[in-house]
């Protein structure tokens, strides 16, 4: 776990106001956001070894591994205020019409419910893909909501976009679930998700202004170069290679970053800059998730594919912080 003596770019706040645990932690988007709000992380869990290394480089702590194991769950401290995590959306089919706790077994959501039942945090704060709402004709999401309600939580949820709610120029829609312990937070009905705000940042606020490493640029002898050169005419938008053609992002923001960017560098958004046609760098991808990349430490010798995957898997950090602010308004009122 953690040593508070380790020098780290993002140390725990000494004058903390609340405690939280960081499940399915990735590179620590929830952690950074909640530490910014004077939260202290009491426990973290992430099974991916590469993400663990990046997390350690920035927080001085290696997250515990597989959260489905009883020995991992046993390390969670008894008391904390907020359970948070961007849990993986496993495609699980619900058999029959019964709703309830049993039907969530075998999924990673059950592990969240298991921990919540034992520790009774005041708030559960989760993020997932937008399609979670419609998966299996809505049955999956109904089970999630009903399970939380059975555990005594009032459930609030909304699909928010990074570019409309966090002033981050990435078109990224995600569902956010905020569940308050009804007995411990009787004023939970005061909760409201953040309001939409004007997007003032452009891709140029995020992109590197200087020439990046040559390895990111397409060379004229590349088989796709003629198509890319013909299609990519603007320097004010991003593009994506779609198997046989180039798609422009018409909204002039970054298209949704995905975990499969890590699969050999495919699906990484493309940009035309003053020096040529290139892929975004991993650092730029993290910047499009709202991270302060000038402070972040990226492990030496880690592959770009691993970093691309981590960026695509991550949450948009400032949006997590904005929702966190709304949660704290309720807890502190």
Classify burial at 67, counting beta carbons within 10 Å of its beta carbon; exposed 0-12, middle 13-18, buried 19 or more. Answer: buried
49 DSSP β-pair partners? none
Mean of pLDDT values over 272-277: 96
21 DSSP β-pair partners? 43, 83
**Token pair in block for residue 147:** 């399970």
pLDDT tens-digit readout, 11-34 = 999 999 999 999 999 999 999 999
pLDDT tens-digit readout, 67-86 = 999 999 999 999 999 999 99
Answer positive or negative: Cα dihedral of 297, 299, 300, 305. Answer: negative
| Higher pLDDT, residue 164 or 134 | 164
Strands 123-129 and 82-85: parallel
Between helices 317-332 and 29-36, what is the axis angle to 10°? 50
Asked whether 295 and 283 are in contact (CB, 8 A), the reply is no
Banded model confidence at residue 264, pLDDT cuts 50, 70, 90: low
pLDDT score at 245: 81
pLDDT at residue 319 tops 50 = yes
All domains of the chain, ordered by start, with CATH?
Answer: 18-199+313-332 (3.40.50.150), 203-296 (no CATH)
In percent, the amount of the chain with pLDDT more than 70 equals 92
Cβ count within 10 A of residue 12: 17
pLDDT score at 88: 80
Instruction: Identify which of 18, 49, 61, 54 has the alpha carbon closest to the alpha carbon of residue 36.
Output: 18
pLDDT score at 103: 56
Asked whether 27 and 61 are in contact (CB, 8 A), the reply is no
Instruction: Identify which of 148, 155, 158, 149 has the alpha carbon closest to the alpha carbon of residue 115.
Output: 148
Sheet with 276-279: list strands edge to edge.
245-248, 239-242, 270-273, 276-279
Asked whether 288 and 163 are in contact (CB, 8 A), the reply is no
Element (H, E) at 29: helix 29-36
Banded model confidence at residue 99, pLDDT cuts 50, 70, 90: very low
Known catalytic residue at 254 = no
Q: What is the DSSP string of 196-262?
A: P------GGGTS-SS---GGGBPPTTSTTHHHHHHH---SSS-EEEETTEEEE-TTSSBPPP-GGGG
Q: Out of 41, 84, 89, 254, pick the active-site residue.
A: 89
pLDDT tens-digit readout, 275-310 = 999 999 999 999 999 999 999 999 999 999 999 999
Mean of pLDDT values over 101-130: 87
Mean of pLDDT values over 229-236: 94
Element (H, E) at 311: helix 304-313
42-47 long-range CB contacts below 8 Å, 24 or more apart?
42/76, 42/77, 42/80, 43/1, 43/75, 43/76, 43/77, 43/80, 45/21, 45/72
Separation in Å, CA 320 to CA 152, 286, 315: 24, 15, 7
Mean of pLDDT values over 47-51: 97
> Mean pLDDT across the chain, nearest whole number?
91
pLDDT score at 100: 47
pLDDT score at 221: 95
């Amino acid at each position: 776990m953690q040593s508070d003596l380790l020098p780290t770019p993002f140390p725990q706040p000494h004058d903390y106001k609340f405690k939280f645990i960081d499940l399915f932690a990735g590179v620590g988007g929830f952690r950074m956001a909640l530490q910014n709000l004077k939260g202290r992380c009491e426990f973290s869990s992430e099974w991916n070894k590469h993400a663990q290394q990046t997390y350690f480089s920035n927080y001085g702590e290696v997250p515990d591994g597989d959260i489905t194991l009883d020995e991992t769950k046993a390390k969670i401290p008894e008391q904390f205020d907020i359970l948070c995590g961007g849990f993986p959306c496993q495609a699980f089919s619900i058999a029959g019409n019964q709703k309830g706790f049993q039907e969530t077994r075998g999924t990673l959501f059950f592990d969240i419910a298991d921990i919540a039942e034992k520790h009774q945090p005041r708030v559960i704060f989760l993020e997932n893909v937008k399609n979670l709402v419609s998966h299996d004709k809505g049955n999956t999401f109904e089970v999630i909501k009903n399970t939380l309600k059975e555990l005594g939580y009032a459930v609030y949820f909304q699909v928010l976009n990074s570019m409309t709610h966090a002033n981050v120029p990435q078109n990224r829609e995600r569902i956010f679930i905020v569940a308050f312990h009804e007995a411990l937070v009787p004023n939970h009905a005061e909760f409201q998700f953040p309001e939409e705000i004007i997007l003032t940042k452009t891709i140029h606020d995020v992109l590197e202004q200087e020439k990046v490493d040559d390895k990111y640029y397409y060379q004229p002898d590349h088989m796709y170069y003629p198509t890319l050169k013909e299609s990519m005419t603007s320097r004010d938008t991003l593009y994506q290679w779609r198997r046989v053609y180039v798609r422009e992002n018409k909204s002039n923001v970054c298209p949704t970053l995905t975990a499969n960017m890590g699969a050999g560098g495919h699906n990484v958004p493309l940009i035309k800059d003053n020096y040529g046609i290139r892929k975004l760098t991993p650092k730029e991808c993290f910047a499009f998730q709202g991270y302060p990349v000038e402070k972040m430490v990226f492990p030496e010798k880690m592959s770009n594919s691993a970093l691309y995957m981590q960026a695509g898997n991550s949450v948009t950090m400032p949006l997590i912080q904005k929702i966190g602010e709304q949660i704290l308004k309720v807890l502190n009122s």
